[in-house]
Structure 1
Amino acid sequence: MKLDKYLVISFLLTFIFACNSNKIAKKEGQQKSVKNAESKVQKDSTTTNAVHFPILDSLKTLLSIADTTKSESIADDTSGHDINDLIIHELTRVLINPKVTNEMLDSLHTSLGVIRSDDKRFWIFNWYENTGGTFKSNISVLYYRTASGKQIIKTSQDVNNNFPSSGAWFNMIYKLPVKNKELYLCLGDGVGCTTCIYSTAVVVEVKKDSINFNYPAFEDNEGYDHGDHSSSALVLTARMGDIEKFEYNPKNRTLYFTYLTDDNTPIVRARKEKQKTIIRKLFFNGKKFIGNPYE
């Protein structure tokens, strides 16, 4: 029998805290993590001047738990339900609630990254997936509000037509100057392993009732690293500390990046060779970014 998802979440939240002395207590340090999460939620509630909404409290609680405990540990104690799936569900409920203000979204939780475009219509919400391992993967939820008020929500976890985030944490959104199209450039970075990092640029196209993640924003030349999605994304990989710049200047419509060569960069540093500084510029011509960053 398929249960209502809201009832499942309410049950799981109650179950998680009620079982501190049972299953959760069996894992070393688990009980302490949940107690810390509870105190964080109480602090968030007492410092928020906004009107009280149960769904906000529910989301903050889930974020607090995910921030302090690996998601597979929580899944073991919630009949296999992934904590990140619950966060996505609760965040979606928050976003579609007309009573939730922008100020409430900006101050949901310290572990939730919130950025928005200059026109305040396109948002990205990030949080650390916390699944263990050296790949520090993050989850992204995209939210777009059309001029007519229609809401579009997509995630990096969607099975079909998913946001090609490469697991990055996004920190900037720019609306690109295009006629008759709605294009947004999203910049992020991440940790791929113990010694490797990456930066990524993703262009998404917002249509009337949907978001297109296959817009050909970057030239599809041989050698391009498009991450986990076609030519809508560009990924620059390197060793720790070797990406010196990865930024977009909206005034001249240019994407700049600078890196020091190593064994993981597009131009590879040969053995015993001194590091070289590589500077690349990609210009947005109104349709796509032109130039090959890997030559």
Structure 2
Amino acid sequence: MKILFTVILLPIIVFGQTKSDFEKLIEETNQYLNQYSLLSPFADEYYSISTFGLSKKEIKEDFEDEYYDEMLSENKDSIQSYYMIMYFQRKITENINQIVKHPYFCKVSIKELLNSNELSIVVSEDNKLYNFSFDEKTGGTYRSRISITHYTEFFPQDSTQLAEFNSFFKSDGYNGIFTLKTDEGTKYVLTSSARVCLSCFETSVRLITFKDNEFKEEFKYSVSSRDWNEGVSYNHETKTIAVDYHIDDLTPQCYCSGETDEDKFSFDVFADNEYSINCKCKFVFNGKTFELVEESWKKVDNGNRKK
């Protein structure tokens, strides 16, 4: 009877420790995110170390070293702001990578637990593909983000395979992940948008599939534009991709199929300031991939366009 009791009790104890470790990771990550949200690349040059709520152990391990002397103030109680930005970036990234590998990860709603406004989390409807991203805080006009993508059924065999997985996904992350069930298996639609300079905006839609322990891209359309309200978008209800933009110096051609007819679809964007060219495309998912069903372009009076 005593042996039976021990066999039953052991999994309960192990489960309790696993949950406790996971909860500690979540709490710690939320603390790091909250501290990171207070940092700005435009703030004062130094931050007081005591303002970050770090434990004595963390301060001893991370700041009491000759390597950090040049980053500290003269009396060594404050540290350069750019280092604290990188410090919390590293801590947040390390913790997220631990969280997604934890056995308790698949038992919870991670979006409810990591609820800081600093962190964006998008999840596929089958709860298998995750993307975490947050502002890199470089202070530049390119609003770059730090992105971590996780797929529950990907098991890297070596560092090369892991590197290939990471390079497959956009470094700035995604604002949407949608699941498509097909005869060929599950496919995912990824949508993204990014500000890459003061007046440069990039939008993108990708169709990907997972097979033989790797992702492959089956369709992609992206647009670089001067107008935030233009570009490429995806409607999951109708499984339709809509492209709508005016040609400019970033995208000086109007085409949908990928095969450009120079006479028909290429224009001198600086030749006539009175008119501009509006390009439109429409793609519909046909059960396997996105198929072009409509394409058009027209001259637009710039005076009417600005009204």
Q: TM-score range, shorter-chain basis?
A: 0.5 to 0.7
* TM-fit CA distance, 1:201: 1.4
Query: 179, 182, 201: which one pairs with 1:178?
Result: 182
| 2:218 aligned with 1:234 | no
- How many residues of Structure 1 are paired with residues of Structure 2 in the alignment? 218
* TM-fit CA distance, 1:238: 0.2
Q: Which stretch of the first structure deviates more once superposed, 281-290 or 136-145?
A: 281-290
Superposed CA RMSD: 3.5
> Does the CA-based 8 Å contact 1:246-1:257 persist in structure 2?
yes
**Counterpart Cα distance in 2 of 1:142 and 1:77:** 24
**Counterpart Cα distance in 2 of 1:204 and 1:67:** 33
* TM-fit CA distance, 1:279: 1.4
Larger strand fraction of residues: 2
- Misfit runs of 4+, over 6 Å: 292-295
Larger helix fraction of residues: 2
Query: 94, 98, 106: which one pairs with 1:93?
Result: 98
**Counterpart Cα distance in 2 of 1:293 and 1:126:** 34
Query: 105, 112, 115: which one pairs with 2:111?
Result: 105
Query: 8, 23, 32: which one pairs with 1:62?
Result: 32
Distance 1:104 1:130, change over 3 A: same
* Residue type at the aligned position of 1:260: H
For structure 1, the 5+ residue unaligned runs are 1-49, 153-157, 219-232
1:208-219 mapped onto 2 (5 Å cutoff): 210-212=213-215, 214-215=216-217, 217-218=218-219
* Residue type at the aligned position of 2:191: L
Residue equivalent to 2:54: none
1:43-82 mapped onto 2 (5 Å cutoff): 53-69=23-39, 76=83
Q: Deviations over 1:144-167 (max 9, x none)?
A: 234xxx778xxxxx7433255544
| 2:205 aligned with 1:201 | yes
The two structures have a TM-score, normalised by structure 2, of 0.59
**Counterpart Cα distance in 1 of 2:39 and 2:164:** 29
Query: 141, 151, 157: which one pairs with 1:144?
Result: 151
Greater C-alpha Rg: 2
Give the share of equivalent positions with the same residue, in percent: 19
**Counterpart Cα distance in 1 of 2:170 and 2:268:** 24
Residue equivalent to 2:275: 274
> Does the CA-based 8 Å contact 1:269-1:275 persist in structure 2?
no
**Counterpart Cα distance in 2 of 1:70 and 1:165:** 27
For residue 256 of structure 1, give the secondary structure of its aligned residue in structure 2: strand
**Counterpart Cα distance in 2 of 1:285 and 1:114:** 29
**Counterpart Cα distance in 2 of 1:263 and 1:273:** 16
For structure 2, the 5+ residue unaligned runs are 1-19, 42-70, 72-79, 157-161, 255-266, 298-307
* TM-fit CA distance, 1:74: 5.6
* TM-fit CA distance, 1:196: 0.9
Residue equivalent to 2:258: none
For residue 30 of structure 2, give the secondary structure of its aligned residue in structure 1: helix
**Counterpart Cα distance in 2 of 1:269 and 1:172:** 34
For residue 243 of structure 2, give the secondary structure of its aligned residue in structure 1: strand
For residue 160 of structure 1, give the secondary structure of its aligned residue in structure 2: helix
> Does the CA-based 8 Å contact 2:240-2:283 persist in structure 1?
yes
* Residue type at the aligned position of 2:279: I
